């Protein structure tokens, strides 16, 4: 494939934008080479500025569940834009989307819209602290909850990909209020809770992790967290930025049958536009300004274009048919990849939940950050570039989950599996 125009654009971008990108994972640093610059996308396919076509397995990191440039979302945004793009005043569509989200997600009465998943998680923790009057939180190693200070401690995603899981710039004071536990280690959480009894406001977790690859929770672990939080008066916060409206209409809570106290959303709830949200029962949400004292605000929050995209997306997903089809396609991909890698004797572990899946180049199970980090990154690099050269776009980091979209057809999946068959000999 020819990446000439992408290379030229990347060079120019680096002059004006740090690292040439507006979010680190995009820079391809973990896999080497030049990031491809997107020209356009439709359905399952991305087209770069050099005219190459790729089957897209990241779907803008999750939100495009029904594929790129999905018609109902497009027309909703275009129609809305003609009526004005931002007011900083209330609009009816905010309530419409809020009511629909509340009807789809278990265990919430109210929702507040913000502009990104980062904002959602940051605000959720402030609310939890304001509600409980406690300062400390527990987060899990390898989980990523956006880039606000309290979470950039042993974070996953780009933070770990670029060797800064605990970022400079986060003060010692902030860091000491974030306690760390291992994903899927209930015993470790119990010890931490005992050690800090009476100090903990919240426990925040990706109920299915997607920022150390895809890592499912052990049912005993996730149910155990619920029990500990209820017994100790700690709020359980599910970061459903990736899983919300993707794994099921009711997100991970529905799939895992575990109730959280505060839910964080992003990506999907904006149909691919910049939206985040956090939600809980009234008893908790009434502590939020202007009703209560916990402050949170934003001029672009509830932006009409973003709300219209989110509303069109959730209406489509609420019909419920997509989830079965997506899970079946993802299972088909899983089997196909597994067969090829087995045939070529390439050690691997594949994790999958619904339409989230990741391939780890190791022979052991991947259940937490330590086991995810022990994958063979050299093989991953060859795999990523090999697939890219065949027209398959995968996450450019071993620490990210793939997200399938329902525009991907079985022909696309066969093409992807055949691409892997072609490059498999080079993975040794
Ligand atoms: N943190 C995102 C994936 N987990 C990547 C965002 C981006 O680079 O667009």
pLDDT, tens only, 233-269: 999 999 999 999 999 999 999 999 999 999 999 989 9
Claim to verify: residue 12 and residue 35 sit in the same structural domain: yes
Claim to verify: residue 243 and residue 381 sit in the same structural domain: no
Claim to verify: residue 301 and residue 420 sit in the same structural domain: no
Of ligand 1's atoms, which has the minimum distance to the CA of residue 25? 8
Task: Decide: pTM greater than 0.85.
Answer: yes
Beta strands 349-353 and 276-280, pairing class: unpaired
Confirm or reject: Cβ of 211 under 6 Å from ligand 1: yes
pLDDT value of residue 165:
67
The alpha carbon of 146 and the centre of ligand 1 are apart by a number of angstroms equal to 9
What does the alpha-carbon distance between residue 356 and residue 278 come to, in Å, rounded to a whole number?
A: 22
- What Cα–Cα distance (Å) separates residue 382 from each residue in 224, 336, 379, 386, 393? 39, 19, 5, 6, 13
The alpha carbon of 118 and the centre of ligand 1 are apart by a number of angstroms equal to 11
pLDDT value of residue 164:
65
Instruction: Extract the tokens encoding 16.
Output: 């004006």
Asked if 98 and 280 touch (Cβ cutoff 8 Å), the reply is no
Positions in the chain whose pLDDT score sits under 50: none
Claim to verify: residue 35 and residue 79 sit in the same structural domain: no
pLDDT value of residue 167:
82
Claim to verify: residue 122 and residue 213 sit in the same structural domain: yes
DSSP letter at 215 equals B
The catalytic position among 144, 183, 393, 402 is: 144
Among the candidates 317, 338, 357, a domain finishes at: 317
Among the candidates 317, 341, 356, a domain finishes at: 317
- Supply the CATH number for residue 209's domain: 3.40.640.10
267 included as an active-site residue:
yes
The catalytic position among 48, 56, 177, 239 is: 239
The catalytic position among 29, 141, 267, 381 is: 267
How many domains would you assign to the chain? 2
What does the alpha-carbon distance between residue 108 and residue 20 come to, in Å, rounded to a whole number?
A: 40
Claim to verify: residue 347 and residue 308 sit in the same structural domain: no
pLDDT value of residue 321:
76
Claim to verify: residue 226 and residue 177 sit in the same structural domain: yes
pLDDT value of residue 133:
98
Task: Provide the residue range defining the domain that includes 141.
Answer: 71-317
Among the candidates 282, 297, 317, a domain finishes at: 317
């Amino acid at each position: 494939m020819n990446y000439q125009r992408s290379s030229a654009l990347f060079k120019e971008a680096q002059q004006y934008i740090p690292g040439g990108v507006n979010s680190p994972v995009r820079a391809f640093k973990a896999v080497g080479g030049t990031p491809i610059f997107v020209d356009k996308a439709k359905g399952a396919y991305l087209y770069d500025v050099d005219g190459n076509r790729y089957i897209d397995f990241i779907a803008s990191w999750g939100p495009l569940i029904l594929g790129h440039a999905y018609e109902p979302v497009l027309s909703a945004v275009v129609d809305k834009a003609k009526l004005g793009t931002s007011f900083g005043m209330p609009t009816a569509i905010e309530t419409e989307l809020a009511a629909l989200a509340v009807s789809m997600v278990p265990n919430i009465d109210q929702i507040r819209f913000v502009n990104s998943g980062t904002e959602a998680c940051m605000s959720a923790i402030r609310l939890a602290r304001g509600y409980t009057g406690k300062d400390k939180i527990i987060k899990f190693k390898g989980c990523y909850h956006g880039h606000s200070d309290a979470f950039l401690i042993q974070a996953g995603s780009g933070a770990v990909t670029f060797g800064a899981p605990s970022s400079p710039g986060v003060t010692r004071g902030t860091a000491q209020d974030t306690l760390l536990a291992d994903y899927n280690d209930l015993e470790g959480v119990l010890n931490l809770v005992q050690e800090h009894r009476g100090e903990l406001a919240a426990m925040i977790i990706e109920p299915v992790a997607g920022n150390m690859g895809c890592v499912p929770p052990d049912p005993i672990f996730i149910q155990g967290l619920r029990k500990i939080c209820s017994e100790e008066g700690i709020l359980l916060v599910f970061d459903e930025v990736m899983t919300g409206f993707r794994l099921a209409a009711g997100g991970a809570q529905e799939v895992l049958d575990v109730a959280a106290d505060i839910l964080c959303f992003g990506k999907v709830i904006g149909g691919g536009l910049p939206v985040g949200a956090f939600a809980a029962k009234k008893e908790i949400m009434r502590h939020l300004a202007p009703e209560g004292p916990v402050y949170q605000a934003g001029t672009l929050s509830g932006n009409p274009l973003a709300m219209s995209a989110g509303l069109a997306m959730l209406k489509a997903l609420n019909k419920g048919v997509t989830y079965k089809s997506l899970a079946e396609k993802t299972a088909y991909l899983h089997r196909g990849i597994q067969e090829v890698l087995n045939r070529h004797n390439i050690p691997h572990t594949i994790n999958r939940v619904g339409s989230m899946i990741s391939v780890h180049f190791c022979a052991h199970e991947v259940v937490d950050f330590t086991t995810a980090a022990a994958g063979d990154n050299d093989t991953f690099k060859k795999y990523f570039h090999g697939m890219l050269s065949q027209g398959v776009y995968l996450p450019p980091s071993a620490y990210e989950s793939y997200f399938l979209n329902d525009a991907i057809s079985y022909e696309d999946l066969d093409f992807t599996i055949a691409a892997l068959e072609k490059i498999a000999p080079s993975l040794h």
